[in-house]
Structure 1
Amino acid sequence: MSNCTLRLTLDTHQRIDMRWLSQAINAGMTSADALQLSIKIGNKTSQVSDVFTLTGELTATNIVLENSSSSCDYIGYQLPAGKTINVTGAAGHYAGAELAGGQLIIHSDAQHYVGCAMRSGMITVNGHCGNYLGGAFTGQKRGMAGGTILVKGNTGDFTGDMMRKGIIMVTGNIGNYCASRMIAGTITSLGSVGTHVGKNMRRGTLLFHKLPQDLPATFTNCGRHNLGYLTLLLDEMRKHDSEFKLLHPMRRRVQRYMGDTSVAGMGELLIWIG
């Protein structure tokens, strides 16, 4: 696998717009040309070469981003299939936004809107995430529409807001308003889930280790079930290097709730039994 190393050399608390990297990758630019691109830092414009050093070519399969901070927004924006970005530090807002088949690996924490409006591909966050994981851009109505997000920590509020397809796996806790306005897709967690889960949820599947903090009255108890299709879902979840790998492959017994009935929703909330 060929490698390219990108290193942040500027120490700043201003927001750094990383969409120049996606522009360079998708255009097949050489490293020399990419370093001449403009980059937004706060409300000012600089040259990439003033902010980053670049070793190797961006045509490489694997791109390593070193010394990254929570100020770096849009890392992995529209990343195409066949490309991997390894972030050794933290990531800012909109990491993996509109991901288009690529792989984004963040070895620390990430801020808000991770994977928003992503279409396909894989995002792995080894730390915690902020709000609107897998959600939609502000003012838009289409959240995550495919792919997989694995978070090996906690996530904030509005996880999966307006989600349409794909799977979100969280080994830790999920905040409030999980799956709000969800259209389809799957969200699963091994930790606790906050309040107002499934608000205005239309369809989709929520699979949790235990009941949320307050189960909405608009979710109907449908009894206990042994669901065969969970074997296929567990198969997919156990492929990834995380705590999900420890789940029993035949753990199919669940308590099932349907909702959000206030919007004639047919989504399902499943709680593992035993």
Structure 2
Amino acid sequence: METLHVVYPETEQAFIESLEERSAILNGGTDIHVKIRAGKWPYTRLVSLERVETLKGISQEGKYIRIRCRTTFSDLLANPLIAQHFPLLYQAAYEVGSNQIRNRGTLVGNIVNASPAGDGILALSVYDAWLEIWSRKGQKRLAQIHEFILSPGKTVLKADEFVHSVILQKPTKPLRALFYKVGQRKAMAIAIASMGVLLETKHDRIKEIRIAFGSVAPTVVRIPEIEERAFDQTLNEATVESWMPFLEKHVVPIDDIRSTAKYRKEVCQRLLYKILDL
């Protein structure tokens, strides 16, 4: 491997000017060594965000919440806005790695890593999050989380772009949240399969449901047929059973070192019944 150089800009402008094709951004840095050992690291230069204080933090902007790119999972757990308005994201953040990983790892890093097992990505998918993308040329654009990730490890980001912030709209009504992850051990595990749900019911009838699964397709998947057809259905076992064909359509896992495709499908079927506990 070539020598790896690290630069430490101290302002947003200096950081943006440092972006170039052979550079990678050093944010939390929790995945860099893994990629280097796997021989999947083409970069010779790291641009660190450590000294750019304006890229860290969570702010309320009217009906929206902005989460800047240096914000760690521990920052999410410590912020009352996240616990109050986005309980599914709060639950997902708590499931990320260990305390040490949560103290270093960032939500935006989780997104840009583009793993279908990303806990943060799953929650943001259910919340229909938007990403604010900045470029070296001074341009800004928005991309929805569903459009941003193309396949494992691949996103729509160009070489001179970075994700500045995650934008979330505060829900206008209370929604019950469920995040559930199945791994090879009880803690600090990469998901074999995971599920995120937001649910509103009235007199045992579904008024709104949003549902997504992770680790069971090239990207995190939402299941629109369930979301559309569930309205005003009674929440019971028969209803959940009727959703299974839609689950079968969208859940297309593979065999890998952590599990088999067959087992992942069975796990997802069982996870779907967890909605009855909400």
TM-score by length of 1: 0.31
Normalized per residue, the structure richer in strand is 1
Which structure shows the higher helix fraction? Answer: 2
> TM-score, length-normalised on structure 2?
0.31
